[in-house]
Structure 1
Amino acid sequence: MIIRLSELEIDSKYLDEYNKILQEEAEASVRLEPGVISIFPMSLKEAPNQIRIVEIYANKAAYESHLKTPHFQKYKTTTLKMVKNLKLIDMTALDADTMKKIFHKLK
């Protein structure tokens, strides 16, 4: 499994437009790609232009496939001017078994 936390700072003048594009990309990724387990965007309450995305992929192949999809490519190219800062943090699950139960509870 690949788990990543994306930390983004968005130029405030583009925030509404960015959020719309991000929501479309996240929805399409989860709906269309079997290997995408989560693209879960959120923002800091005190700073809505600070975006965090929890990304979970079944494996490296699923992640690499995701990067080539039309919806991700559209997201990446249309938001390029909107992103002031991007940091990708690779994570390790400490309890993958419980994580499976969390997603099961959402059904």
Structure 2
Amino acid sequence: MIVRISEIQVHAQHLEQYKAILQEEAEASVRLEPGVIAIFPMSRRDSDTEFRILEIYASRQAYEAHLKTPHFQKYKSGTLHMVKSLKLVDMHATDAQTMGTMFRKMPNR
């Protein structure tokens, strides 16, 4: 499994457009890709131009396949000029067994 946190800061003048493209990409990734466990975008409460995206992939192969999808390519090329800074932080799950429980607890909506 791959767990990553993307730390992104966008230029304020592109905020609404960035959020729309990000939402579209995250939804398509989870819906269309079996190897994408989660793409969960969040913005900081104290800075609406700073985002964190929790990304969880079933495997390295799933992550590499994700990078080649049309929806990710559209996101990447469409937002490149909007992004002020990007940092990708690879994480290690300290309790991978319990991690799956989180998703089972969420009610279907």
Alignment TM class, shorter chain as reference: over 0.9
AA matched with 2:57? Y
How far, CA to CA, are the matches of 2:66 and 2:100 in structure 1?
Answer: 21
The match for 1:72 is 72
How far, CA to CA, are the matches of 2:50 and 2:23 in structure 1?
Answer: 15
In structure 1, the residue corresponding to 2:99 is in which secondary structure? Answer: helix
The match for 2:45 is 45
How far, CA to CA, are the matches of 1:54 and 1:78 in structure 2?
Answer: 20
How far, CA to CA, are the matches of 1:67 and 1:103 in structure 2?
Answer: 24
How far, CA to CA, are the matches of 1:106 and 1:14 in structure 2?
Answer: 32
How far, CA to CA, are the matches of 2:106 and 2:32 in structure 1?
Answer: 19
TM-score, normalised via structure 2 length: 0.97
The match for 1:81 is 81
Q: Which 5+ residue runs of structure 1 have no aligned equivalent?
A: none
Indicate yes or no: 2:23 matched with 1:23.
yes
In structure 2, the residue corresponding to 1:48 is in which secondary structure? Answer: strand
Indicate yes or no: 2:2 matched with 1:2.
yes
How far, CA to CA, are the matches of 1:92 and 1:50 in structure 2?
Answer: 23
CA RMSD after TM alignment: 0.5
Shift of 1:97: 1.0
AA matched with 2:88? L
TM-score, normalised via structure 1 length: 0.99
Quote the sequence identity (%). Answer: 62
How far, CA to CA, are the matches of 2:18 and 2:99 in structure 1?
Answer: 29
Detail structure 1 runs of 4+ shifted over 3 Å in the superposition.
none
Aligned length, in residue pairs? 107
In structure 2, the residue corresponding to 1:64 is in which secondary structure? Answer: helix
Q: Which 5+ residue runs of structure 2 have no aligned equivalent?
A: none
